[in-house]
Structure 1
Amino acid sequence: MKMFAAGLFIFLESLEFLEGGRLLVIPQDGSHWLSMRAVVEKLSEKGHEIVVLAPEVNLLLKESEHYTRKLYAVPYTQEELDHRFHLFANQHFVEVSFPTMIIETYSSTMFVLDLFFYNCASLLQNREIIRYLDESKFDVVFTDPALPCGVILAEYLSIPSVYFFRGFPCNVEHAVTKCPDPVSYVPRCYTSYTDHMTFTQRVLNLFVSSLETPLFKDLYTKYQDIASEFLQRDVHLPTLYRNGSIWLLRYDFVFEYPKPVMPNMVFVGGINCEEGKNLPQVRDWISQIIEENIHAQEESIDKIRHQH
């Protein structure tokens, strides 16, 4: 874990804010934020000034001594957000057939992502926030690119962007970068296949892969529209994504299957791992065994001395 973390911070700090710069963080709410928060806190400890953009209605984007939280209004309530996430989470624990799982996963995912779209649209239309960003002169955007609001703002501010990413069902990191992703060897999301597939599994894997492009268009076309309106020019969203300086991928080939990646993609799969600690009862038991062995050895030595 130390090696992964060291690599992560070296890449982040190799940007132009080495001596305590200004970092704009545009996260995704929910479990995505838990991973990013650990990095943000570490960067804060190193002296960087950090601002986190967060909707007024959120799940986990709370205040902290490590950063300044800049809030913006959104057109939904806390109750609605909690309700949608509750339905989304419960869907993952229902055992259904594979085709049904694909349909229900898509439905529950879109049910949540609709709120995130309203979230992004509200942020881009908030003149006070945009004026604040213009005046703040940030050095870099640190964002989760699962949804493109941070990508759009990095383009608007004309500053480097660092992506902190775990993955998404439509294979965003490969779709937008044109990175090879062979279906014969790279199992698709939710298939539970390995990199050694039978012919039938490869056919099904190809079928799931064929759904990624329409899913990508369904998810991101409306973001492309608001990006064009916000940037006041025609926008090709994958091109904006390709402007990212570094992709920090929160996985590695210990639990994932090998696949091609682009040169600016760095694996930091151990970033959420902590060094294991001995359980107190195990530690006490081991200490007791050691003490008993030492005592037994001392008694044996004394007996040998008396015999001689």
Structure 2
Amino acid sequence: MWKAFLQVCFLLSTVKELNGENKSQSAVQNNGFEGKVVNSPTTPESSSKFLGRLLVIAVDGSHWVDLKAVAQEMGRRGHRVTVVMPEVSLRLGPGKHYTTLTYPVPYGQAEVDALFGGIAETMTKSFMEKMSHIRHMMSFIHTNAESLLLNTSLISHLSQQDFDALLTSPILPTGALIARKLGLPTINLARGVPCGLDMKAAACPSPPSYVPRFFSRFTDKMNFKERVINTLISLMEPLMCRMMHWQFDHLAVEFLGEDISSAEVMKDAAIWLMRTDFTLDHPRPLMPNMVLVGGMNCDLRNPLPEDLQPWVSGADGFVVFTLGSMVSSVPEDIAAIFLDAFRQIPQKVIWRYTGPVPDNVPENVKMMKWVPQNDLLAHPGVRAFITHGGSHGLYEGVCHAVPMMMLPITGEQPDNAQRMASRGVGVVLDIKTVTVEQLLQGLSDVINSTRYKENIMKLSALHKDRPMNPSELSVYWTEYVMRHKGADHLRPAAHHLNWFQYHSLDVITVLSVVAVVVLMVTVSCMRRCLSSTSSLFRKRKRD
């Protein structure tokens, strides 16, 4: 709890410095649209008579996985899909069924790789060093947003394309700001926003009594102490949102020409495609315009490469080890611990690892710069999945019913891992302090204990038992918003109420005043009656 508070205070102090730095950059960011347009052919295969135009504002990292999946499927069905992305990125790129529109940015590929590659290095760094890395990340994100929003030629070009809707991730407000500028309804696709801004923007109730907050690592069944901590975190959420969007608030005023915050702009969203479901998250209230689409990649399967066939065969099976898209290697001392543990197990291990390959790699370990994670997890020979606890990997593990060993690193991963562990489908270890003995014990438990396999099979059956898969559901609601130019009838009237009205404090105040007045009048009348009766009794007694 105290660490979260220190992070908030530290980052609020650095945001002011970053805002000053980026103001000087904004003068040179307004450099006109000098990007590239890459046209990709599409084949109309939509069963719907409506074919529209969709604008996608790409967000890098793991957020791109599902955004790309929806963009590809929309384009495959015959819609004109335009994806806007920076010329330099970590994972963004062209696709077969959409047009790519890029814009220039004042940084190179080496800077991007160094920034995101530094996430693994922060595992063993001090608190202040971690905060310094976050500061650089925030500066990078804001610079990227300025490059897009202040590119007047690009924004003008987009305004002339007659789009029907905009699809983006709300983890950054860039897409929401462009949607408001162009007058487009927004479809937000995300796992969630750390400060709970998604729920606030959707006017969705989130009682801290049973809705665990980000970074709390609690389940929905909390004791008194945990409810106190959860409530305190919920009270700190507005401060965290301010920390995350301070710079964007200034950018929103400059870009839109109106006095409005980026958080207010995000309330305009027509549909929220929530990349989760209740096999991962705990039951909680949802609004009519919030749709659960967790696990999009479950049904996407491809044959395994030939060079992997010897590694997935054998009576003892194999283990898949990946730490997500942004952490593909670990410090050498931690890697040595994993290798020592893997040397002592009978299973083969397929490890996504891009760092320097150690000299003493065991014969049962294959290190690869990229692994077909979903296809490996779908193989019947897989025995365990070692993961960082990202939502994409967890859903693939649940989909294919693979017991998990979870090593959360950052973000929502500790919360995800704790929720999976509470369902009895895996174990959680601390990657910074893990030992060979803990790894061997954890692997032995998830591989040899039948309860983990039984629990994950039950959870997998629940996850896959649905009338429409998440990919089709996402496309349906995206087309719905495009056809109807929004979904205002699903937005609650809570958006038009201030906090005093939302909590009915005005009604409670009036009713309290009325109750007090009625009580005072009643007491006064009773006193008068008693006084009159007493006087009459004394008079009769004297007579």
**TM-score bucket (shorter structure):** 0.7 to 0.9
SS in 2 for 1:52: strand
Amino acid at match of 1:87: G
- Summarize the alignment of residues 72-91 of structure 1 with structure 2, pairs less than 5 Å apart: 72-91=103-122
Identity of aligned residues (%): 37
Q: Given the superposition, is the C-alpha separation of residues 111 and 202 from structure 1 closer, same or farther in structure 2, using an over 3 Å criterion? A: farther
Kindly state the Cα deviation for residue 104 of structure 1 after the two structures are TM-superposed.
7.4
Asked whether 1:55 is paired with 2:156, we answer no
Asked whether 1:25 is paired with 2:56, we answer yes
Aligned to 1:297: none
Q: Given the superposition, is the C-alpha separation of residues 122 and 62 from structure 1 closer, same or farther in structure 2, using an over 3 Å criterion? A: same
Asked whether 1:149 is paired with 2:180, we answer no
Q: C-alpha deviations, 1:226-276, integer Å up to 9, x for none? A: 111111121133332121110000001111011222221111113232377
Aligned to 1:65: 96
RMSD: 2.6
Kindly state the Cα deviation for residue 146 of structure 1 after the two structures are TM-superposed.
0.8
Q: C-alpha deviations, 1:171-221, integer Å up to 9, x for none? A: 121232332211121112222211111222222222332332111011112
Asked whether 1:202 is paired with 2:227, we answer yes
Aligned equivalents of 2:381, 2:257: Cα separation in 1: 61
SS in 2 for 1:24: strand
Aligned equivalents of 2:271, 2:131: Cα separation in 1: 29
Q: Which runs of 5+ in 1 are unaligned?
A: 1-12, 282-308
- Summarize the alignment of residues 120-131 of structure 1 with structure 2, pairs less than 5 Å apart: 120-131=145-156
Q: Given the superposition, is the C-alpha separation of residues 90 and 205 from structure 1 closer, same or farther in structure 2, using an over 3 Å criterion? A: farther
1:249 counterpart (274, 298, 310): 274
Kindly state the Cα deviation for residue 94 of structure 1 after the two structures are TM-superposed.
5.3
Aligned equivalents of 2:136, 2:51: Cα separation in 1: 40
1:225 counterpart (232, 243, 250): 250
Kindly state the Cα deviation for residue 105 of structure 1 after the two structures are TM-superposed.
6.6
Aligned equivalents of 2:235, 2:125: Cα separation in 1: 24
> TM-score normalised to the size of structure 1?
0.77
Aligned equivalents of 2:161, 2:279: Cα separation in 1: 41
Which structure's CA Rg is the greater one? 2
Q: Which runs of 5+ in 2 are unaligned?
A: 1-45, 301-376, 383-543
Does the CA contact (< 8 Å) of 1:57 and 1:77 recur in 2? yes
SS in 2 for 1:136: coil
Q: C-alpha deviations, 1:113-143, integer Å up to 9, x for none? A: 3211111111111122112102211111011
Aligned to 1:119: 144
State the structure with bigger RCO (CA 8 A, min sep 6), 1 or 2.
Answer: 1
Aligned equivalents of 1:190, 1:280: Cα separation in 2: 34
Amino acid at match of 1:58: S
Q: Given the superposition, is the C-alpha separation of residues 179 and 94 from structure 1 closer, same or farther in structure 2, using an over 3 Å criterion? A: farther
Aligned to 2:218: 193
Aligned equivalents of 2:223, 2:277: Cα separation in 1: 24
Aligned equivalents of 1:62, 1:239: Cα separation in 2: 31
SS in 1 for 2:240: helix
Does the CA contact (< 8 Å) of 2:197 and 2:263 recur in 1? no
Does the CA contact (< 8 Å) of 2:185 and 2:269 recur in 1? yes
Amino acid at match of 1:279: P
Q: Given the superposition, is the C-alpha separation of residues 45 and 164 from structure 1 closer, same or farther in structure 2, using an over 3 Å criterion? A: same
Aligned to 1:34: 65
Does the CA contact (< 8 Å) of 1:162 and 1:244 recur in 2? yes
Q: Given the superposition, is the C-alpha separation of residues 42 and 172 from structure 1 closer, same or farther in structure 2, using an over 3 Å criterion? A: same
Q: Given the superposition, is the C-alpha separation of residues 170 and 18 from structure 1 closer, same or farther in structure 2, using an over 3 Å criterion? A: farther
Aligned equivalents of 2:118, 2:276: Cα separation in 1: 27
Does the CA contact (< 8 Å) of 1:193 and 1:201 recur in 2? yes
- Summarize the alignment of residues 157-306 of structure 1 with structure 2, pairs less than 5 Å apart: 157-274=182-299, 277=378, 279=380
Amino acid at match of 2:280: F
Aligned equivalents of 1:139, 1:251: Cα separation in 2: 26
Q: C-alpha deviations, 1:91-113, integer Å up to 9, x for none? A: 4x5599xxx6xx87765444323
Aligned equivalents of 2:235, 2:259: Cα separation in 1: 27
Aligned equivalents of 1:142, 1:84: Cα separation in 2: 26
Amino acid at match of 2:51: G
SS in 1 for 2:218: coil
Q: Given the superposition, is the C-alpha separation of residues 95 and 119 from structure 1 closer, same or farther in structure 2, using an over 3 Å criterion? A: closer
Aligned equivalents of 1:63, 1:113: Cα separation in 2: 26
Shifted more, 267-276 versus 197-206: the winner is 267-276
Amino acid at match of 1:135: Q
SS in 2 for 1:273: helix
Kindly state the Cα deviation for residue 71 of structure 1 after the two structures are TM-superposed.
0.8
Aligned to 2:74: 43
Aligned equivalents of 2:252, 2:121: Cα separation in 1: 33
